[in-house]
Amino acid sequence: MTDSTRQRILDTAERLFADQGFHATTLRQITSEAGVNLAAVNYHHGSKDALVLAVFQRRLDALNSERLARLDQALAVGDPPGLEQVLEAFIYPALLLSSSSSGDGGRFMRLLMRAWSENATQLHGKIARQYSHVMRAFADAVCRALDARPARLRQQLDFLIGALTYTMAETRADQVEQTADALIRFACAGLRESAAGAPELVLPEEKIA
């Protein structure tokens, strides 16, 4: 399969999954609209579930690579790192993706909403496991910045992910910097307050975004 064919399949699948949902979209519909045969999808992905995961991976791989690169820059400045710089590395790339003027961001947000509204538990688990190293890297950096044990910040980090997901859905391209700054200030205040005396909690499963 050529790369252009693979991209066409992923583009079509992403659009249909976002618009119709995972259950309502069939492989036959995807292949028909992408102008490829079913064998092409089976050759590269093997199943509909694998194709769904590949659609998410295409966006999340790029997002999390950018996050980790920015985190490395923040860590290179000093140890412990600055909390604002760590959170900027996590938040800013996500807002850039969701507000993309190319239309990719809007489709990705609809895709995320589909994943939650359809309660795609297996998909959540696969994505959480695949990108758990990213979440661990940021959780560790936040704890180093605050000189706090991870157990004291687990619920607050989960709240941050929820707030970021909501913010991604509401932010336009011309609002990214202003919105990122506001969310970073909000998160820093909550994390610093919680680090001082929040109870230790069990870490919930990582969220997709």
For residue 16, give the CATH number of its domain: 1.10.10.60
Contact status, residue 106 vs residue 178, Cβ threshold 8 Å:
no
The strand ranges marked E within the chain are none
Domain span including residue 149: 56-197
pLDDT in tens, 11-32: 999 999 999 999 999 999 999 9
- Residue range 182-197: mean pLDDT, rounded: 91
Residue 60 sits in the same domain as residue 122 = yes
pLDDT in tens, 59-115: 999 999 999 999 999 999 988 899 999 999 999 999 999 888 666 777 888 888 888
- Residue range 156-171: mean pLDDT, rounded: 88
The string of DSSP codes covering 76-103 is HH-SSPPHHHHHHHHHHHHHHHHT-TTS
Residue 112 sits in the same domain as residue 66 = yes
Tell me the pLDDT band of 177, cut-offs 50, 70 and 90.
very high
What is the percent of the chain with per-residue pLDDT over 70, rounded to a whole number? 91
Contact status, residue 171 vs residue 179, Cβ threshold 8 Å:
yes
pTM for the predicted model, two decimal places? 0.84
